[in-house]
Amino acid sequence: MPAGAVRTEAGRSVVWLVRHNRLARREVEAGPVSGGRREIRSGLVGGEVLLVSGLENPREGKRVKVAAVP
């Protein structure tokens, strides 16, 4: 995933999921960065929608609108 989508909070790697148009924080095990992308070793399931850009200060439960899903 884009390296910038993985944030560090209190020494832990986290990503933000979009579920029912609301943000949900998820702790993940992140691996190395290569070519601007970060490996995620565990903590995600296929098909989940991730916040990769567009919010400076995400917070749990914040309502969002998905612009595009590739």
**Is the full-model pTM beyond 0.95?**
no
Query: Can you tell me the distance from the alpha carbon of 33 to that of 49, in angstroms, rounded to the nearest whole number?
Result: 21
pLDDT of residue 10: 94
Query: Can you tell me the distance from the alpha carbon of 28 to that of 31, in angstroms, rounded to the nearest whole number?
Result: 10
pLDDT of residue 53: 84
Q: Is the pLDDT of residue 70 over 80?
A: no
Q: How many helices (H) and strands (E) does the chain have?
A: 0, 5
Between 65 and 38, residue with greater pLDDT: 38
Distances (CA, A) of 46 to 11, 22, 57, 61: 25, 18, 25, 21
Domain boundaries along the sequence of the chain: 3-42
pLDDT of residue 69: 63
Query: Can you tell me the distance from the alpha carbon of 26 to that of 28, in angstroms, rounded to the nearest whole number?
Result: 6
7-59: pLDDT as tens digits: 999 999 999 999 999 999 999 999 999 999 999 999 999 999 999 888 788 99
